[in-house]
Chains A and B, each alone.
Chain A
Amino acid sequence: MTPITTLKDWETDQEVRWCPGCGDYAILKAVQRTLPQLGTDPANTVFVSGIGCSSRFPYYIESYGFHTIHGRAPAFATGIKLANPDLDIWLVTGDGDGLSIGGNHLMHVLRRNVNMQIMLFNNEIYGLTKGQYSPTSREGTRSPSTPLGSVDHPTKPCAFALGAGARFVARGFDVSKNLPDVLKAAHAHRGAAFVEIFQNCVVYNKDVFEDFAQPKGAEDRQLWLENGAPMLFANGTKGITLNHASLRLEVVDIIDGDWQAAEVIVHDVTNRAIAHMLVEMPFGPFPMALGVLYDDPLPTFEDMVIADRERAVAGKEPNLARLLASGQTWTVEEGPTGA
């Protein structure tokens, strides 16, 4: 039986060691607020992380936790899930851990669709190693390793996830009050659920998400997606539509609330083509797409592995003595063998 838990039950006695003001505090609270609502058992929950500021996360959640090595958390989590599919796994990674050193593993855990929640804290910087630019840093980011500004093009985590074959892609940010709802949707999805969480690094990359995350004017700059609802923002005065000639998204003005007339798209979380457009939608001309961008489950990896094993062992007995004695065999009799 699953015990009823409160936020307190998910707090450890360990002193939290992030910088004062770090966005990670808000995410930690959001997760600890979400977990009791999921009705899950701390004893059956495992937080797995790699290396980086975000990866300290497991130490602060009162469940099982495994702080592994840089970039490899998805591989550990896959082994844990295959060994015990009943465990509820949360993977915590960052933009450096998950998209630079661990990009390969993130790709494959998504492609295989191992059932777990993947939270990628994107602060567009290497925090723990003191401020180098990361694979999500915007071009021109000045950092100790790029004193004149970075020159390489950043990757978009949600576009990466979709490209890798993810069946659930969502976005939120550290101080958003909607973050628990996004996490709940991720947990409800059976399969690898990818959540990008914009996270403010107050020391090395302060307020890079301020243009859309700040509360003032947020309604004009945030598009919160809801399945079955039209893609509206700016208090319903603007919407997103698809230009049927160019096959591009456009912002349209809504006159008198008549979004149908403006041909605003109704969000369908199973529409993969629109999801690709939403994750690529440039902020500035467009609002930042947030919430559940895509959710269309497929059978999970562990279910397929279990089914494969059942097929493989059907009618077979695990008889070790017989296995050892298989292949080309012969018997040597007692006493001197023939001449």
Chain B
Amino acid sequence: MATQTVPHEAIDEPEHRPEAVVVRFAGDSGDGMQLTGGQFTLSTALAGNDLATFPDFPAEIRAPQGTLFGVSAFQINFGSRQIDTAGDAPDVLVAMNPAALKVNLQAVKPGGLVIADTGEFTKRNLEKAKYASNPLEDGSLARWDVLAFDISAQTIEAVKPFGLGNKDALRCKNMWTLGLALWMFGRPRKPIHDWLRAKFKGKPELAEANIAALDAGHAYGETAELSGPLHQYHLDPVPTAPGLYRTITGAEAVALGLIAGARLLRLPLFFGGYPITPASAILHHLARLKEFSVTTFQAEDEIAAICAAIGASYAGSLGVTSSSGPGIALKGEAMGLAIMTELPLVIVNSQRGGPSTGLPTKTEQSDLYQAVYGRNGDAPMPVIAARSPADVFECAIEACRIAVQYMTPVMLLTDGYIANAAEPWLVPDPEAFERMPAQFLTQKNAGDGLLPYKRDERGARPWIKPGTPGLMHRIGGIEKAVDTGHLDYSPGNHQAMTDARRDKIANIQVRDQQVEVGEKRGRLVVVGWGSTYGPIHQAVLRARRRGMDVSHIHVRHVWPLPANLGDLLRGFDKVLVPEMNTGQFKTVLRDQFLIDAQPLTKVSGQPFQIAELEAAIATYFDNIPGDAGGAEIAPNLSQLPSPVSGHDDGTTPRDLRLMHDRDN
């Protein structure tokens, strides 16, 4: 057996009963790999396994067929225990052509299974993939189990009775592959049959051809079992809370959370956006949900998008804008105005690699300084960070609540990984959330007079909609006098107003920090925020199973920090802060609590791997002096997935057809 580089994730468990398996489907962008992955995900969810997926799309809009940069892939990690990440390295790779093999092979675990379609390993395709010789024949795949056979021919044979042309017949290849995968993991075929019949409602011959291909792939597994490396795996279902589940991406969850938040506040939602990767998906999702009192506005630029949102908030809607790093930078001045005029606003930042244009399609957490500190003047603003696609929903509601109750802009941080990744989500009951109707001032609030900056017990000023009789007043970006809001440059007033703005934000009521895994005190705590949740959670669980005294704290409220966080962290001997940046949250923690927080950083555009974090944790317990603590994790050249945007861009197949028709 080949040496495992990643412990505890071996697929070669006794009798093929692993705890978790990572499968990666890879092919040409025209091969339907996302569809295959999506249906396999559904069947996996139905089987009761927990799962996480990550789609890897080409960055190019229409990549040429068979090329390396045209490879589209879909990775799923599923298991009989809780799954938090899309998986470190695939156990199984399905490669539909040479390019797909070349791009994905190095990621596969040594000893893992590679399934390849020999029908596509033609001279021309090998050249396109820049292979000098056929890897299926030249022995270069010796480190892996290889199952190579002519899927193309098998598919054509299977669909022969339906009289399809060669091109249409080959389109059924992905279903043949899915059939084989369903057999490998003991999944029922019926839900896919039903789905295919619904999908090809008007074209029964296509439905039946695809079903025939699926069944043929399944049958191939049964007959090939005895003769090759192919075998079936059995994964027990994960004990899961009962209820209705769906898969959800971070971008969808932002849209749904904003709608839910606005409804709980009884406010119309106004969304001002400007196209930018990977944040555009939120605009796309909301644009088709107008029945929920949603107005979407595609502005002329990032600045106009936030300014229009502030204008809408001023007029009594819940203004929201969203962008990614460079766009957020452009919005900075307007955020200052929202802070000064004390108007509610939600700003969603789907972070990506920076600075400047940086890595538009790769994930990073390097906008934390920008979120917390990135404005002129003393400009405090709450910052909330979501940990996963499903978590985004609640975070968005929380952002809406704070924005309105405290009359302040709020930044919600997600990232490219969260925006695009999908995970199962226990569909919440919208009635279960506390209603918090927004209050507007409708009459004078100081006897006979109006004080637009008179503060309530939270420190918030009243929200006064233009159109309200008798409450005319003027607001703007120049320093306001206490209570009256008139222009006032006097020294005492600026001190008082700066203090009031600071205190209002500092005193926002946020839930006490909980410990995710472990104890309230001990030897080591790993403190994370945002999308590092999955790998940290798994790494800490594994380390604890190996007897290490390590706990996991994951912070949602980045600013203001939970009141109990300082005391909690002081209960540990060591504090390790893994981040996909050069140590930004570490700096905030050191500044706020004077603790010796140590950074563990990774800025290769790739999420942390569980193994990387586990190794870092182990340095605190290995009795080797001087090796514990912070480090930089080097780029891992074989690591997949490297998130590429384009999966959840909020467009539907209908949109794509429309765009195609328009362009041709």
Contact = CB atoms under 8 A, between A and B. Distances in A.
Interface in B223-251: 236-248
Interface stretch (B71-79, B285-293, B634-642): B285-293
A111 to B, nearest CB: 9
Interface string A73-111: 011111111111011000000000000000011011000
A67 B479 CA distance: 11
A337 B44 CA distance: 13
B35 interface: no
B597 interface: no
Contacts of A245: none
Contact of A330 (B245, B290, B314): B245
A79 B243 CA distance: 40
A112 to B, nearest CB: 9
A327 B470 contact: no
Interface stretch (B301-309, B355-363, B600-608): B301-309
A83 B317 contact: yes
B312 A337 contact: no
Nearest to A14: B486
Interface in B303-353: 303-305, 307-317, 319, 333-334, 336-337, 341
A324 B256 contact: yes
B100 to A, nearest CB: 25
Interface stretch (A57-65, A165-173, A180-188, A208-216): A57-65
Contacts of B203: none
B291 A316 contact: yes
Nearest to A308: B290
Contact of A313 (B291, B304, B474): B291
B198 interface: no
Contacts of A339: 236-237
A331 B245 contact: yes
A331 B292 contact: no
Contacts of B303: 72, 75, 105
B122 interface: no
A83 B477 contact: no
A87 B314 CA distance: 12
Given A68-B337, A76-B314, A79-B308, A43 B259 contact: no
Interface string A305-339: 10011001100111011011111111111111111
Interface string B429-443: 111000000000000
Interface centre among A48, A51, A82, A332 (most CB of B within 10 A): A332
Nearest to B270: A83
Nearest to B272: A79
B42 A65 contact: no
A332 B241 contact: yes
A328 B38 contact: yes
B335 to A, nearest CB: 10
Nearest to B38: A328
A44 interface: yes
Contact of B259 (A62, A84, A320): A320
A12 interface: yes
Given A309-B290, A313-B290, A84 B309 contact: no
Nearest to A317: B291
Contact of A80 (B312, B469, B476): B312
B493 interface: no
Given A68-B477, A79-B307, A318-B293, A328 B48 contact: no
A63 B38 CA distance: 56
A130 to B, nearest CB: 17
B242 A318 contact: no
Interface stretch (B460-468, B518-526, B562-570, B617-625): B460-468
A77 B311 contact: yes
Contacts of B243: 331-332
Interface string B355-395: 00000000000000000000000000000000000000000
Given A68-B477, A82-B312, A75 B299 contact: yes
B472 interface: yes
A59 B475 CA distance: 8
Given A75-B303, A323-B289, A330 B239 contact: no
Interface in B244-292: 244-248, 252, 256, 259-260, 263, 268, 270, 272, 288-292
Given A316-B291, A323-B256, A84 B476 contact: no
A66 interface: yes
A66 B314 contact: yes
B244 A82 contact: no
B246 A337 contact: no
A334 B428 contact: no
Interface in B54-94: none
Contacts of A82: 270, 295, 297, 308, 312
Given A12-B474, A328-B42, A64 B239 contact: no
Interface string A231-243: 0000000000000
Contacts of B256: 323-324
A255 interface: no
Nearest to B470: A43
A305 B299 contact: no
Given A72-B334, A82-B270, A329-B246, A320 B239 contact: no
A64 B467 CA distance: 8
Given A69-B337, A76-B311, A312 B291 contact: yes
A44 B466 CA distance: 6
B487 interface: yes
Given A79-B308, A104-B301, A332-B240, A64 B245 contact: no
A12 B472 CA distance: 10
B594 interface: no
Contacts of B308: 75-76, 78-79, 82
Contact of B260 (A63, A320, A325): A320
B587 to A, nearest CB: 29
B141 interface: no
Interface string A111-143: 000000000000000000000000000000000
Contacts of B471: 43
Given A67-B475, A330-B45, A338-B48, A83 B292 contact: no
B219 interface: no
B473 interface: yes
Given A313-B290, A324-B427, A58 B245 contact: no
B432 to A, nearest CB: 11
A46 interface: yes
Contacts of B300: 75, 104-105, 107-108
A89 B292 CA distance: 26
Interface of A: 12, 14, 41-44, 46, 48, 51, 58-59, 62-70, 72, 74-84, 86-87, 104-105, 107-108, 305, 308-309, 312-313, 316-318, 320-321, 323-339
11 contacts: A68-B477, A75-B303, A79-B313, A79-B314, A83-B316, A313-B291, A316-B291, A329-B246, A330-B42, A331-B243, A339-B236
Given A51-B477, A326-B246, 11 more contacts: A59-B474, A75-B305, A77-B311, A79-B314, A79-B315, A82-B270, A82-B312, A84-B466, A305-B297, A323-B256, A338-B48
Interface of B: 38, 41-42, 45-48, 236-248, 252, 256, 259-260, 263, 268, 270, 272, 288-293, 295, 297, 299-301, 303-305, 307-317, 319, 333-334, 336-337, 341, 427-431, 465-478, 486-487
The 10 closest A-B pairs by CB, nearest first: A79-B311, A67-B476, A79-B308, A75-B307, A65-B474, A64-B466, A83-B315, A75-B304, A76-B311, A83-B312
